Amino acid sequence: MAPRRRPSRWVAISAVALLAVVIGILSLVAYQRANPPAEPATAGPVPTFDLGVETETPTPSPTATPTPEPAPPREAERFLSVGSQAMWRATAGLCGSVEPLVERSGDGGQTWSDVTARYLGLTQVASLDAFSAQDAEMVAAAGNCDAQALRTFTNGQFWAPYPDVLAVSRYIDLVDSSLIHLGRGAASQAPCAEARGLRASGDVVALVCEGRAWVWTGSDWSPLSPEGVVALAASDGAVIAAYPADGCAGLTVTRFAAAGGEGDPGTPVGCAEGADAASSAAMAVAGGSVLVWSGGSLVSVGG
């Protein structure tokens, strides 16, 4: 009887099973070494993305409001008037601090003579006008800051007070520059606190307030169109204004109808070359032209 072979088969099966288990254990160890357990997760920052070049948006800066050119001091205000035989000019001065200067020329402005009435204690000039071929009058403070109307019939050598002339004179008050004397007891508040450059002729009264020209309508003040006005003149129902403008290396001179109002573009007279818009100036009508006194120069425009 041949020997039985069953135990050999079970041994082989057991060996295969054991080998499978060993291979499984080795595979598990290898996997764990290749994939160690992860550390506890820590929250990271939120990712950001760059879409091209990124720059910081600037904070808009406030737009600066243009500041008007400050007006020259009141004591530097100028006056100019022309008669057929003499010219007169003055700087205002200021009561109690700056002496005024009044001058006369008999040769068309080539030379000037000092005719300031110092013997009267002249302290400030508020207006100056030629009222005949060679005579002049002014509203001024003499001795104190009370206004007087003074006239000369001696080429400026002597001046005398004329109360009746003061009663009809138009001028800016010597103490309160917001108060305008309109003659015959009438007065008005100016459109600003510091009125300058008042000029009057016939029914026309005009002044400068904060760089604008204003005309008295009989009941109120009406503005004219230009800005930055430096000087005014009044003649034949019109107001002549000098102001800086493009195309003129100095002061543009334009004639406006006194009743034209703010919409009136005016009629160009010409350009006062070299006149300084930042300094005091004065104008006067002489025949068909306008004389502009700026700095040390007297410039004729138009005509």
Average pLDDT over the chain reads: 83
pLDDT in tens, 216-232: 999 999 999 999 999 99
pLDDT in tens, 112-132: 999 999 999 999 999 999 999
Percent of the chain with pLDDT over 90: 72
Mean pLDDT over 12-19 rounds to: 45
Model pLDDT, residue 263: 87
pLDDT class of 144 with cuts at 50, 70, 90? confident
User: Is the pLDDT confidence value at 260 over 90?
Assistant: no
Model pLDDT, residue 83: 96
Model pLDDT, residue 143: 80
Model pLDDT, residue 142: 87
pLDDT in tens, 51-66: 233 334 344 444 333 3
pLDDT in tens, 189-226: 999 999 999 999 999 999 999 999 999 999 999 999 99
Model pLDDT, residue 82: 97
Percent of the chain with pLDDT over 70: 77
Mean pLDDT over 268-293 rounds to: 95
Question: What pTM did the predictor assign?
Answer: 0.77
- State the Cα–Cα distance between residues 111 and 233, nearest whole angstrom: 23
pLDDT class of 69 with cuts at 50, 70, 90? low
pLDDT class of 19 with cuts at 50, 70, 90? very low
